[in-house]
Each structure stands twice: as C-alpha cells, then as structure tokens.
C-alpha cells in the first residue's frame, strides 16, 4: 500500500483506538503503537491474587454520556455487551447514567482494538521528517515506520519529547501543559465493604478523591476496592518512598473499612492522571508540504475535549476526521 494511505497512531488508549478505527474504516493502513503491555491507557483493569482473583479498575472508573456523537458509540458498545449502566449517581441520583465496562474498563479498549494492527510493548523514540514519506516514526530499537500522517494521543509532556526533531511549530502552552498526579491503593478485602451509595464515593477535597468498590460495581467476584488519593495529597506525597506512601494510604483507607480487613494490597503511581487545563479545540493538527505529498500530525487525547472518557473519545474522533480532511484537500 502507498505511504499516502499509511497512518501511525501513538497510544492505544481510547482516543488512539477511536481514531484508528475511524481511519481504518475509511481505507487507511493504520498501525497503533503503545509502550504498555496491553491496550487501554486510562481504561486500565488489573487482576490481583491467586487462585481467587480480585479485579480492579484502577484508572478511569466509569463514564457518562452527554453528547449525541458519544451516545452512538455507547449504544453500539451496549448492544455488543461491552458496557452496561452502573448507577445514576453516588449521592442523589442526577439522571445521568454512569457506565462501566462489563469485564472492567479495559474491556472497552479490547473491543475497540479488534481487527486493528496494534503493537504493544513498543516504545516510540521520535517523529521526524521522512525520506520516502513525509514522516518517519522511529522506535527505540531503531525501527522506522514511514507514514503520511501520525496521530499522537499520549500525555502532552510525552508528546513534546517525540516532536522535538519534527521541526514543527506547536503552541508552547500546548506542549507545556501539566497534569495532576494520582497515588492509588488497590485493596483486596476479606469481606465486602460498604462504600457510599452503589459502591462509589467522591470528595475532591479529602485524602481520597475517589473510592470505588469493584465488587459492588460487579467487576470483581472478590471484594476489591480502588482508592485514588486526591491530586493535592498525591503531590504532597509523590516523593515519598514506596513503602511509606503505601502504608500511609492503607492507614487512611482504614476509616472506610471498619467491618473488614485488607488481605493484600498494591500501590500505584499515576504521573499523568488528569490534565490541569483543557485546550479549547478537540485536537490540534499541523500539515506540512513535502516532496512526498502532505504530511499531517494530529495531537489528541483527554487534554483537548475534556479529561473524561467522553472527552477522550470525542478528541480521537475529531483527530481522525481532520486527518482525512487534510489529506483529501491536498
């Protein structure tokens, strides 16, 4: 296939997979690259323990639907048995359904990755002007993937490092955007806990901004609770050593586990958890003229259309639409 139909998508989270599926459906030769062991990005589901395995959603916990564009996607996922409604609020019901992946949030990404060329455990080193194509995507093992367009969906600080050699004018405010950090505790319990209404508890000003009972949610058959420390608490304790921070979170969690005990737990650091500012457009696109035709770079992700699951999906869709439009116009 001609390089003019080749697109490389960096990041196999929701934005990247949405963009990749759109482009593939329009006849583009799409390759998705991700440094992680599996797909999903923030749609992360982890299994802990043996032989009885506890299941944790330890990134995004649920999502809502506010736009007709995203509603169409969610209707398809629901019909496919990939997602279901969890509840309509964790205090008083507000009428907005909270959806979850039937087998954990990562199951949504696995559904989207079907029939795509997705390469995990693959670290992108740089994006540079190409020889036989407008762009060369260079991997850490020196492999080069030529492409007419590249969609970059990783956190913006990581995007900046990839574009240093691309010779592009990118707004500085975009590439210097910061993210809140999250320290997380994944706790396997000896019996079910009582966590808020429906198994969810939120308070952005407390030690924990979110507590999610994966057992009550229906994700885990073993009692398992995800604790997300607040951005401020996470920042204050980010440089603590692993054991100290882990112990501090377990101590704080005890308040919510009065009738049960932690059997085992894991401690996680999430550096780029939530963007602190949102770019006013759903994606950012730069097009260059080259001897090999137009070359397009599209930046997308939850720093563009909003730091929620829906925002990431809409950003990926917008990036794919812009790539198609830019290539068709030249």
Residue 94 pLDDT class (50, 70, 90 cuts):
confident
CATH number of 3-41+111-177+277-329: 3.50.50.60
Residue 168 confidence (pLDDT): 92
The residue with tokens 């583009």 is: 28
Query: Which of the listed CATH numbers 1.10.3720.10, 3.20.20.370, 3.90.660.10, 3.20.20.80 matches domain 179-276?
Result: 3.90.660.10
Residue 3 confidence (pLDDT): 55
CA distances from 211 to 7, 166, 224, 236, 282 (A): 39, 42, 11, 19, 29
How confident is the model over 269-280, as pLDDT tens digits? 999 999 999 999
**What is the distance between the alpha carbons of residues 145 and 12, in angstroms, rounded to a whole number?**
17
Residue 93 pLDDT class (50, 70, 90 cuts):
confident
Residue ranges covered by each domain of the chain: 3-41+111-177+277-329, 179-276
Residue 4 pLDDT class (50, 70, 90 cuts):
low
CA distances from 314 to 19, 144, 225, 281, 320 (A): 9, 29, 29, 11, 10
Q: Is the pLDDT of residue 158 over 60?
A: yes
**What is the distance between the alpha carbons of residues 300 and 323, in angstroms, rounded to a whole number?**
11
Is 179-276 in the same CATH topology as 3-41+111-177+277-329?
no
CA distances from 138 to 124, 143, 232, 272 (A): 6, 6, 36, 23
How confident is the model over 295-327, as pLDDT tens digits? 999 999 999 988 799 999 999 999 999 999 999
Question: Residue 281's Cα: distance from chain center in Å?
Answer: 19
Residues in the chain: 330
Q: What is the mean pLDDT of the chain?
A: 94
């Amino acid at each position: 296939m001609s390089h003019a139909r080749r697109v490389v998508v960096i990041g196999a989270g929701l934005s990247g997979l949405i963009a990749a599926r759109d482009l593939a459906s329009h006849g583009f030769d799409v390759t998705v690259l991700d440094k992680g062991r599996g797909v999903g990005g923030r749609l992360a589901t982890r299994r802990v323990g043996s032989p009885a395995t506890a299941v944790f959603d330890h990134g995004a916990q649920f999502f809502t639907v506010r736009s007709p564009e995203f509603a169409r996607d969610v209707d398809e996922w629901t019909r496919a048995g990939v997602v279901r409604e969890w509840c309509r609020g964790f205090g008083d019901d507000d009428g907005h359904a909270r959806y979850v992946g039937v087998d954990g949030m990562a199951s949504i990404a696995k559904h989207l990755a079907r029939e795509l060329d997705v390469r995990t455990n693959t670290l992108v080193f740089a994006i540079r002007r190409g020889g036989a194509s407008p762009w060369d995507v260079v991997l850490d093992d020196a492999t080069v993937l030529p492409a007419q367009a590249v969609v970059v969906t990783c956190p913006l600080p990581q995007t900046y490092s990839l574009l240093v050699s691309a010779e592009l004018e990118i707004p500085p405010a975009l590439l210097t955007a910061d993210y809140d950090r999250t320290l997380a505790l994944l706790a396997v319990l000896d019996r079910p806990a009582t966590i808020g209404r429906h198994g969810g508890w939120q308070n952005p000003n407390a030690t924990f901004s979110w507590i999610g009972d994966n057992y009550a949610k229906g994700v885990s058959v073993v009692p398992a609770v995800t604790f997300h420390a607040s951005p401020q608490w996470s920042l204050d304790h980010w440089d603590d050593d692993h054991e100290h921070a882990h112990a501090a979170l377990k101590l704080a969690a005890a308040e919510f586990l009065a009738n049960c005990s932690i059997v085992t737990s894991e401690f996680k650091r999430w550096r780029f958890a939530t963007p602190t500012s949102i770019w006013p457009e759903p994606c950012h696109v730069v097009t260059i003229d080259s001897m090999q035709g137009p070359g397009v770079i599209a930046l997308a992700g939850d720093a563009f259309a909003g730091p929620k699951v829906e925002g990431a999906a809409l950003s990926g869709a917008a990036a794919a639409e812009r790539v198609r439009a830019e290539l068709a116009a030249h």
